[in-house]
């Protein structure tokens, strides 16, 4: 098992290196993307400043707590973007037959489809984003303990597993329909609803954001725990749901593979 993990890490690191070389090869395009990402970072800081200075209360949370929710969203979203960038290019691979070669290799086709395409710009900007988030939260007047911080990190891992399941289902839809773009961007749009506490929405939308497209479990619950707030749902339920959701996504992926008839068909 350990050797297998080392193999996958070696493949991921090699493909990440290739993507970095591509970025250096097309320096002008990479520079434009870098400028865009930095501009987005400054816009995020502007939004956080506006929340801090203009908002008095939002859904029962004060401005500083809302900032924690937004930074949690940014962290989870950026992690998924760095690791699972390959999903965005999966549709053409199904249509042109590249996916056939994935199936012929002794490496999991799911891993190849999810994680063998990396965004070096997002990767380079992850550390500044993380440090900036830590600095911002440390300056807020919030009751954050060591225990809540450790539990928050564990729930971020749980969020990453949920993101893995969602991206796996998106890939399965890509196999069945040869179309991924609309599905993944629909998920991204829904995910943006979790920039702020999902508890502000009315039923049944709130329930859907917790248990159908579970962005609430990914972002709202970890932020509530970090703030020493009572979570909307018990952590035992959150972890049990994650396990079932991850298992279900794997079953859906396996079923979609059985429906795949290759590009030549």
Domain boundaries, the chain: 2-259
Query: Peptide bond preceding 215: is omega within 30 degrees of 0, i.e. cis?
Result: no
pLDDT-derived band of residue 86, with 50, 70 and 90 as boundaries? confident
* 203 or 24, which is more confident: 203
CA 54, 58, 64, 66 torsion-angle sign:
negative
Which is nearest to 241 in space by CA: 202, 211, 220, 209? 211
Q: Which of 32-36, 58-62, 112-116, 257-261 has the lowest mean pLDDT?
A: 32-36
Predicted pLDDT of residue 17: 67
Indicate left, alpha or beta for 64 from its phi (over 0: left) and psi (-120 to 50: alpha): alpha
The model carries a pTM of: 0.88
pLDDT-derived band of residue 241, with 50, 70 and 90 as boundaries? very high
Contact 184, 213 (CB under 8 A): no
Contact 166, 187 (CB under 8 A): yes
On the 0-12 / 13-18 / 19+ scale of CB atoms within 10 A, 130 is middle
pLDDT-derived band of residue 30, with 50, 70 and 90 as boundaries? low
Q: What is the pLDDT of residues 165-203, one digit of tens each?
A: 999 999 999 998 888 888 898 999 999 888 889 988 888
* 246 or 51, which is more confident: 246
Radius of gyration of the chain measured on its C-alpha atoms: 20
- The whole-angstrom separation of Cα 151 and Cα 159 is 12
Q: What is the mean pLDDT of residues 215-243?
A: 93
**Res 128 pLDDT > 90:** no
């Amino acid at each position: 098992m350990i050797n297998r993990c080392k193999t996958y890490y070696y493949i991921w690191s090699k493909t990440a290196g290739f993507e970095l070389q591509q970025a250096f090869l097309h320096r002008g395009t990479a520079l434009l993307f870098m400028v865009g990402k930095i501009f987005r970072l400054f816009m995020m800081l502007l939004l956080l400043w506006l929340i801090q200075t203009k908002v008095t209360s939002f859904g029962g949370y004060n401005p500083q707590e809302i900032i924690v929710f937004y930074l949690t969203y940014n962290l989870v979203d950026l992690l998924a973007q760095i690791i699972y960038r390959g999903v965005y290019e999966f549709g053409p691979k199904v249509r042109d037959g590249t996916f056939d070669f994935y199936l012929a290799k002794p490496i999991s086709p799911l891993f190849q489809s999810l994680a063998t395409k990396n965004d070096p710009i997002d990767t380079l900007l992850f550390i500044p984003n993380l440090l900036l988030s830590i600095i911002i939260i440390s300056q807020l007047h919030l009751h954050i303990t060591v225990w809540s911080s450790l539990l928050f990190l564990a729930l971020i891992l749980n969020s990453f597993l949920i993101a893995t399941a969602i991206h796996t289902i998106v890939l399965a839809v890509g196999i069945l329909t040869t179309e991924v773009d609309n599905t993944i961007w629909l998920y991204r749009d829904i995910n943006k609803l979790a920039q702020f506490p999902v508890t502000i929405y009315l039923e049944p939308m709130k329930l859907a954001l917790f248990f159908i497209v579970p962005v609430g479990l990914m972002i709202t619950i970890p932020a509530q725990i970090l703030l020493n707030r009572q979570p909307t749902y018990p952590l035992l339920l959150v972890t049990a749901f994650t396990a079932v959701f991850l298992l279900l996504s794997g079953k859906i992926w396996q079923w979609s593979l059985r429906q795949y008839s290759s590009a030549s068909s």
